[in-house]
Amino acid sequence: MMKKDGYLKPLAVAITAASLGMGLAYAYEDDPGQESKAAYQGAESAVEGASARTVRTPGAPDLTDEEFESAKEIYFQRCAGCHGVLRKGATGKPLTTDITQERGLEYLKAFINYGSAAGMPNWGTSGDLSDDEVELMAKYVMHEPPVPPEYGLAEMQASWEVIVPPEERPTEQMNALDLENLFSVTLRDAGQIALIDGGSKEIVQVLDTGYAVHISRLSASGRYLFVIGRDAKVDMIDLWMEEPAIVATIKVGLEARSVETSKYDGYEDRIAIAGTYWPPQYVMMDGETLEPLKIMGTRGMTVGTQEYHPEPRVAAIVASHQHPEFIVNIKETGKVRLVNYENLEAVSTVEIDTSRFLHDGGWDASGRYFMTAANESNQIVVIDAQERELEAIVDVGKIPHPGRGANFVDPEFGPVWATSHLGDATIQLIGTDPDGHPDSAWTVVRTLEGQGGGSLFIKTHPESDNLYVDTALNPGEGPSQSVAVFDINDLEAGFEVLPIAEWADVGEGPKRVVQPEYNKAGDEVWFSVWNTMDETSALVVVDDTTRELKHVIKDERLVTPTGKFNVLNTQHDIY
């Protein structure tokens, strides 16, 4: 293999799309968004392969026990995040035995080796898997998938620990930190978060958490910080303590992405919720202790075709301010659930049919409408949290991935919410003011061209005139190591490129620049320069007014920093 302009170009591909009956030829040079998509989808599952039983399937090639165990580990590390633990299909295609056995061993080997234009990574020709491993995986997917164990109340209670009981916690803030300007920074591969003071730029505390913390969320009061790792470990941190520390912890499953706490008037800090990828379920917990109270499953029928899906994973969860309920995205089935927590003995749930493959999202500026990406459907779903109903489904670009999105006032179209995309270079603005600007509401009113595909996050702030777009998963070195910034008051003027990784001056490594995050005043923007574990990473702070470098945070404890969450902005959904 060789590279040209950051995109993969095979020296030779012996098997063509025509000979296999489906697309296996590379499309990355003509459609570089596909490589961004492959990087996004190829993430490992946090489920341990060893937890799944070994099976033997008639019609499948023989595997020894040792080979089966090795293949399980590879599948859960490389494939389950896309195809699903049960191989029923998620953002990737189904790999059930009726399909894999019909295709046959040679076909599967070629597919795994070369990948596909639809986003399947080229595991063999990239060097990620050896020839022997490619053949092993081709044989493995011809067997019925091994099923990981369920994870219920008994398992949760066994993992649950209250380290500092509520009655032993302080009754007022015991440190001198400006908590509203504190940042919770994910140290992904270290299994930690760093609490960093936004004023001094000094690390206050590094805390051991679950693996690859996906998000940090604040309680309504701003006192408690909740983080959840991809291994489904939830940690609750009391920011009022003399030294902020974990006061309660629980493992709610085997793989997870989302945690949130109650925000409705009168229920602040009372209930916490976490959703899991495996098993497909969510659990509501005591907001002060994380005691598991109510587990609810998500298995059921998909929207549209109404086919049963055994593995509908829980993606984003947000807390409503209009009702005492959580808004829960059920990814594979395309259902949004409004889960009322007033009475956990008789839970009331409104289930709304939307669009499949729901992922991340956030509120519009009014806090009434939840804007969420249905990424593989190339749509944004709009939920009216006040009326508890579907407001709209808006067609957008390829694989929207907005994070929580960006709210601002467009000079021509009024209040808008913006998303960027993994699969193309566009940034699209959707009108969000049905009363003041009815002609613009729930339509794409403006499309901007950014640096390229591979964007994970887009961000602005009420005090800012800038709109920042990262391209962390773009295959090109230039876009992945920089950010594009637009002037909100002159959007059609195009973007300026800020060389964030160059400013960080960290030396060798991929140095992907990811997730803009503002400080509480909205006059600084923080970026992660995400390097490999054996290279130097950093955080870069940019002056939002001048767009110039303000500070670089380097510390040997900053291992693979990714997500950053300012306390005030996260607490009040400012984005």
Residues forming the active site: 79, 82-83, 120, 359, 401
Contact 416, 434 (CB under 8 A): no
Look up tokens 């595991």; give the residue. 123
| DSSP 8-state secondary structure symbol assigned to residue 217 | E
User: Tokens representing 380?
Assistant: 């944004």
The phi, psi pair for 262, rounded to 5°, reads -70, 140
d(CA 118, CA 127): 20
* Alpha helix ranges (H) inside 5-160: 17-20, 33-41, 65-78, 80-83, 97-103, 105-114, 131-140, 153-159
3-state class of 479 per DSSP?
helix
Angstrom distances, CA of residue 526 to CA of 468, 483, 544: 11, 12, 10
Contact 373, 360 (CB under 8 A): yes
CA-derived radius of gyration, the chain: 23
- Please list, in sequence order, all residues whose beta carbon lies within 8 angstroms of the beta carbon of residue 531, skipping any fewer than 6 positions away: 506, 509, 510, 511, 512, 537, 560
d(CA 203, CA 282): 33
d(CA 114, CA 25): 8
What string of DSSP letters covers 480-520?
A: HTSEEEEEGGGGGG-EEEE-HHHHHT--SS--EEEEEEE-T
Cis before 149 (ω within 30): no
- Least Cα distance to 420 among 354, 355, 388, 375 occurs for 375
d(CA 377, CA 370): 17
Specify the long-range contacts of residues 529-534, CB closer than 8 Å, at least 24 apart.
Answer: 529/481, 529/500, 529/501, 529/504, 529/561, 530/188, 530/472, 530/560, 530/561, 530/562, 531/506, 531/560, 532/560, 533/189, 533/190, 533/559, 533/560
User: Tokens representing 376?
Assistant: 């593989």
Work out whether the CA dihedral 127, 130, 135, 141 comes out positive or negative.
negative
Look up tokens 């693996």; give the residue. 211
Q: Which amino acid is at 266?
A: G
Contact 76, 463 (CB under 8 A): no
Start-to-end Cα distance in the chain: 41
What string of DSSP letters covers 301-366?
A: EPTTT--EES---EEEEEE-SSSSEEEEEETTTTEEEEEE-S-TTS--EEEEE--SSEEEEEE-TT
What string of DSSP letters covers 162-213?
A: ESS-GGGS-SS--S---GGGEEEEEEGGGTEEEEEETTT--EEEEEE-STT-
Q: Partners of 458 in the beta sheet? A: 469
Q: Which amino acid is at 106?
A: E
